[in-house]
Copies of this chain bind each other. A is one copy, B any other.
Amino acid sequence: MADSLPVLVVGSIVLDSIRSPYGESKAALGGSAYYFAAAASFYANVRMVACVGEDFPDEGRHFLEKRGVDVEGFVTMPGKTFAYEAEYGDDPNHRVSLRTCLNVFEKFHPVLPPLYRSTPVVFLGNIHPALQMEVLDQVDSPEHVAADTMNFWISRSREDLERLLRRVDTLFLNDSEAKELTGEKNLIRAIRRVCEFGPSTVVLKKGEHGAVLYRENTLSVVPAYPLEIVRDPTGGGDTFAGGVMGYLARAGSFDRKTFQEAMLHGTAAASFVVEEFGPKRLMQVTSERLEERLRTLRAMIAIG
């Protein structure tokens, strides 16, 4: 940790109510910043920019503090926390949103604590691209900027998103987002064309089909961790990104080989999250269990 580059994350903190064929959760801790920070904190010092309402449970903040996350930029505002309701059927890659109440998040305009402004590694979690930009504007020449986005912003806030992407080094997105952003129907062409928008690196998240890295004109793949039960896929992608960026920050390097290794760590971290509703499993996981899953992943791709 001491040697790790610090990582700044901005994103949502949400109380998630999720139904899946395996059960349901009510107002569980969640949101892109929450999952990202929980995973990245295994590897790096994380500085969090986010807001919650007065209804946010203390245990949520305590868990982050226990994991060493700097919560100076994590503010409580009058009103209610961002609340989200969604449902999954048998396909864990397909979610149906039922209700999205931004609540306090609607008026959130973060002012970064002074220490945060010199953070070398920045992750802009999936929120409005204008808000992502607001945060990025407050950071002095970061070394590496990564971002996540979603179809909603690609279609509704395209200009803001395109402006942001010009300043992003690594973009995390899924198949359908890559296709929508670029207008390409072929996935490989879509991945390559994402770079025309600014990012030099693309991390494509394919859920149960693993992830693809495009960096230095080269494609690499990692498989998903093989799970027999996926109870709640929510937060899987943000946890994955947290593992990836946390590992990179600890390594202090962003070359292709380090990225590939980082993707295995992100995959292992994400595998715990999706096994249970909310971040429960990730809150309990030990480095030993993480290491065990990394070994399985390595064995799955070892040839010869």
Q: Is A230 an interface residue (CB 8 A)?
A: yes
Where the two chains meet, the residues of A that have a C-beta atom closer than 8 Å to any C-beta of B are 21, 90, 185-189, 192, 206, 208-210, 212, 218-221, 223, 226-230, 257, 260-261, 264, 298-304
Contact at B261–A299, with CB atoms within 8 Å? no
Give the distance in Å from the alpha carbon of A212 to the alpha carbon of B208 in the complex.
12
From known contacts A227-B188, A228-B186, infer whether A303 and B298 are also in contact, taking CB-CB under 8 Å: yes
Contact at B209–A219, with CB atoms within 8 Å? no
Contact at A261–B219, with CB atoms within 8 Å? no
This chain's copy number in the assembly = 2
Give the distance in Å from the alpha carbon of A150 to the alpha carbon of B227 in the complex.
25
Closest 8 CB pairs of A and B: A209-B209, A221-B223, A188-B226, A90-B185, A301-B301, A189-B228, A188-B228, A219-B226
- Residue of B187, B221, B226, B228 near A301 (CB, 8 A) is B221
Nearest-neighbour CB distance to chain B for A95, whole angstroms, equals 16
From known contacts A209-B206, A221-B210, A221-B223, infer whether A229 and B303 are also in contact, taking CB-CB under 8 Å: no
Give the distance in Å from the alpha carbon of A299 to the alpha carbon of B186 in the complex.
21
Name A192's closest neighbour in chain B (CB-CB): B228
Give the distance in Å from the alpha carbon of A228 to the alpha carbon of B219 in the complex.
12
